[in-house]
Structures are given as C-alpha cells and as structure tokens.
Chain A
Amino acid sequence: MLWYKSWLETRWRFLIGIALLVCSAGASVLTWPQVQRLTPMLTSMAATQFHGAIGEKVREAAAFARTFRGYVWSNWFNQNCVHSVTLFAILLGVAGIVSESGGALFTLSLPVSRKRLLGVRAGAGLSELFVLAVAPSLVIPLLAPSVGESFPLASVLVYGVCTFVVASMFFMFALLLSTVFGDPWRPLLMAVGVAIAFGTVETIIRLQAPAFGVFRVMSGETWFRAGQLPWIGLLGCAAVSAIFYFVAASNLERRDF
C-alpha cells in the first residue's frame, strides 16, 4: 500500500513528465526534414562566418546534422532528453515524509519503519524515473520511418540506461535534501541549482577536458562516438546515488517529527 501512496503522491509529476518528453521526442524526429534542408546552409556559414570556440561548436552541430543518427543524438539524447529528465528526476525526488503537508504523523503511526518508508519512496520514484528516461525515447524508432529513417532500438535502450543512472543521482540528491528541509521548495531550488552548476562547469571544462562530466555520461556520448559504454561514469554515479540514499536514510532515522 505504501507503493500506492507513493504513486498517488508523484503521479502528476510523472504523467506530466511523460507527456512532455514524448511530445519533445516526437518533435525531434518530425523536424528532421527541415533540419536536412537547413544543414547545407549551416555548414557553409560555419566554414566562413564563425571562428574560435563558437565556430567549432557550430561546425560540430552541422556535422551531427548530416546524419539522422547524429542529429537525434545531438538534439535529443544530448540536449532535450538530458535536461528534461534531470529536471523531472529532481521533481520526483523532492517532498516526502518530512514535508508531507498532511498525514506525516498518520504515516509515522503505521507499523512501518522509516527505512521502509524511504525505501518505498525511493523505489517508486526510481521506477517512474526509469520509465521517464527510457519510454519517451522509444518514440524515435517508432516515428523514424515516417521521415524515411530508422533508429536502432538497442541504442535507445543504452542511452536510456545512461540517462537513468545519472538522473538517479539527481533524484537521490533531491531525496536527501528532502529529509533535511521541511518544505519542498528549498530541496527543489538547491537541487536544480546544483544541476545547473554542474552543467555550466561541464560546458566550460568540455573544451579543456572533454572526457569528464556527468552530462556527458548521461547522454551516452562514448556509445555514440565509439560504441563503448561509460562504465566508470555509470558506476561512479550509481555509487554516489547509493551514498546519498544511505545519508538520507540515516537523516530520516534520527529526525524528530
């Protein structure tokens, strides 16, 4: 029944997330014909009008847009999907027993340990997050034939797993903050702030140290470029998620209500 309660509490965040991500994934595929028409113009502009780091980025974007696979990865898996899933991971992670607007004492009066309460909350959230990370991208191989292309299902699953594992870290961070603060807003703002800071730092260091960055792991860049899974990044993120979870459980265990 705790699963049912967790579902009721997070279902709107989850359903809105699914709807937005499915629409966004579908739009990425359906705009491919327009992108194809604009790519030659972008390529010539990149060669003549942009210089330095910006020129490099524009040339890279033009290069990605030459193939459907490159365009989908660049536009969807490396941008829209990563950013949206991170946001919804945080949204799914915030709130919980500490900031429950009504019913916290009722929940705590049930014959259930706090560890189990948190475990079910985390389990339900991670299940929803997995669906958010994988399911919307399935629209891509489904819609690709409508624009005369195809996209391998295996790649969708690999990118989905990468997205899920890294997003889990943001989910657990929000969950941890939610055991510290009694309102949902501070955990939300702090977790979003940390995600933005990570993204900004990563954009800056990408030019100097392109091998590092959680969003790089999240987008499955090594799979796209070299067909290799970012094992170290994935294991590192999973380990950090586990640490966040255990700190959250320990916080909740000690907390007075």
Chain B
Amino acid sequence: MDDRLIIETSNLTKHYDSFEALRGLDLHVPAGSICGFLGRNGAGKTTTIKILLGMNQPTSGVARVFGSTPDAEVRRRIGFVSEEKELYGYMTVEDMIRFTSPFFPKWRRDLEQRYLRKFDLPLQRKVKQLSRGMRTKLSLLLALCRGAELLILDEPTSGLDPAIAEEVLQAIVGHVANEEMTVFFSSHQIAEIEQIADRVVILDRGRKVIDGAIDELREKYCRVNAVIENGQAGAPVLHSPNVVRVTRKGRVLSILSRGGADDVVAEATELGATNIEVVPVTLKEIFLETVNAEE
C-alpha cells in the first residue's frame, strides 16, 4: 500500500429531492488497499459508487478518482460490478466478452481464459438465460479482465447462495493477491468485509461514522464491562470523549470505547463500578454499536 489516494471525496452531498442520500462524505482510499464500504441498506453506498463512476452528479462537494473528476478516461482504469449484475440479456457470454474487451486496451486475454474455465461459463448461452450466480461470475470476469487499477464492486455477493458467494469472494481475493490494484467494495455483510478487506469505511444515513484500517480499529475499540449498584437508575453518563455508547442491563454496564480503555475504566471506577473488565470487540459490534449510537 502506498500513500497515493486512489479515491478521494470531500464534503460530498447528494440530494434526491428532499432526501439526503449523502451528507458531507469525506472518503480517502489509499492505493493498494482493499477497502470495505459498509452500511445498512439505503445508507448511501450505491449513490457514492455511482458518483465515483460519474453515473451521478453530486449535489455539492468533490469526488476524485486517480486525482481526476470521474469521466470516460477514469473509467478506462476501473473494473466495476453493479449490485444487480446488469448485463445485456440479448447477448451471449461470448458476445459480452467480445463487446467489452475492445474498450480496454489492457484487456487480459490470459485472465479471460482462466476465469472462463474457473467459472465454467457457457460461451454460447444468452445472458438472460444465466442464473444470478453465473451472471455475477460473468460480471466479475468482465471487471477483472479490464486490466484495471481500481476495482469497484457494489454488493458483489448480494442474492447469491453461500457457496457461490464464497467462490466469488475467493476469486476476488485470489485476483487481488496477484495483481497490483485497489479494491473498493460495498457490502452490508460484515463477515465479508472482515474476510477480505484491510480497511473499512462505515456509512450510516449518508454520513461516514468510521474510517480506518481494520486491525487499527480492532486495537482502538474495546468494550468495558462493569457492575454498578442497583440504586442508580438508567445508564450513567460518562464524559470520556472515547465513549461511543453506554448500555445497561440490570446491574451490568457495557461501554464501547474508541480510544483505549484507561480513561473509561477510571471514570467507571469513580462511579463506584466493580468487577470491571476490558474485552476486545468484533467489527460487527463496532458497526452495530456505532450505528445504534448514531440513532
């Protein structure tokens, strides 16, 4: 991974009439990273991706890919798989490949042959006759063989059964391991992000709530569990700036911290809490607690 930013957005907003799909999104994806773009349905993931590909115009703010405003030349360097895996139903698999390859001077014939074999795609079958899994594999082949420097995948495994989803993910991981490229992929499946990403951006209702390397997030975030006296009503207010969310079940207090545990433990001790323990958290917990805290 180097310091160059492949994707960069600044204060990006997008309104659809009165609906705010994106609210001041700042995104920085360094070269060589595999960045998972996590968020619930309707969080603004697809809107962001469409802006990065020049399919939608932002209401305000700036989006840059390879340092430029997204245009045809930028798209020449991008491989893309859409959520719906939309392709031309009236073309055969062979037609689709023959149609797509001339647009990309760096088209990889070797990869084309390899993925045709690996995915077992029937060349003469029409796209409309392919199953969703097959269509996803064809979409992936058409994206991976472009010789792209950036791969943008919008929910690549949505609607697939677990076996095919795993096959698709393994193909992505295997491809990225052999090629120098940056991957930006959206998902609402946390397990997928954990499996293949080294960075994650979590989006909630159009706003970025978390951005960073997954390992750093796991180090930075922790949960502090403590037992408090029965007499206190509700969850106590903690003033540490690292506190993300405090929940209470009976006498057990659970605090998610985003900057180490020391000051949270000290504050809990001052409140008279006992049996204080610090435990690591999963990405799923970070996601769910952060999103719930935002609400």
Contact surface of A with B, Cβ cutoff 8 Å: 1, 4-5, 8-9, 101-106, 108-113, 116, 254, 256-257
Contact = CB atoms under 8 A, between A and B. Distances in A.
Interface residues of B, number: 31
Given A1-B99, A4-B99, A108 B55 contact: yes
Contacts of A106: 80, 82, 86-88, 139, 142
Given A1-B103, A4-B99, A113-B72, A108 B87 contact: no
B18 to A, nearest CB: 15
12 contacts: A1-B102, A5-B88, A8-B88, A8-B90, A9-B90, A103-B86, A105-B50, A106-B86, A109-B75, A109-B78, A112-B103, A256-B57
Contact of A109 (B57, B82, B98): B82
Given A1-B103, A256-B55, A256-B56, A112 B90 contact: no
Interface string B60-94: 00000000000111011010101010111111000
A9 B50 CA distance: 25
Contacts of B54: 108
Contact of A257 (B55, B71, B128, B142): B55
Interface of B: 50, 53-57, 71-73, 75-76, 78, 80, 82, 84, 86-91, 98-100, 102-104, 127-128, 139, 142
A116 B56 CA distance: 17
Contacts of B71: 113
Contacts of A113: 71-72
A52 B42 CA distance: 68
A106 B100 CA distance: 10
A110 B88 contact: no
Contacts of A4: 99
B144 to A, nearest CB: 13
Contacts, number: 71
B56 A103 contact: no
Contact of B73 (A8, A104, A111, A256): A111
A8 B88 CA distance: 10
Contact of B55 (A101, A103, A105): A105
A87 B205 CA distance: 47
Given A102-B89, A254-B57, A257-B50, A111 B84 contact: no
A254 to B, nearest CB: 7
A103 B56 CA distance: 16
A111 B82 CA distance: 16
Nearest to B88: A103
A5 B55 contact: no
A104 B50 CA distance: 12
A103 B88 CA distance: 5
A11 to B, nearest CB: 9
Nearest to B79: A109
Contacts of A254: 57
Nearest to A254: B57
B53 to A, nearest CB: 6
A157 B98 CA distance: 37
Given A101-B89, A102-B88, A111-B104, 11 more contacts: A4-B99, A5-B99, A102-B128, A103-B89, A106-B139, A106-B142, A108-B53, A109-B80, A110-B100, A112-B75, A254-B57
A97 to B, nearest CB: 11
Nearest to A101: B89
B205 to A, nearest CB: 19
A254 B59 CA distance: 12
A13 to B, nearest CB: 13
Contacts of A112: 72, 75, 103
Nearest to B83: A105
A8 B87 CA distance: 14
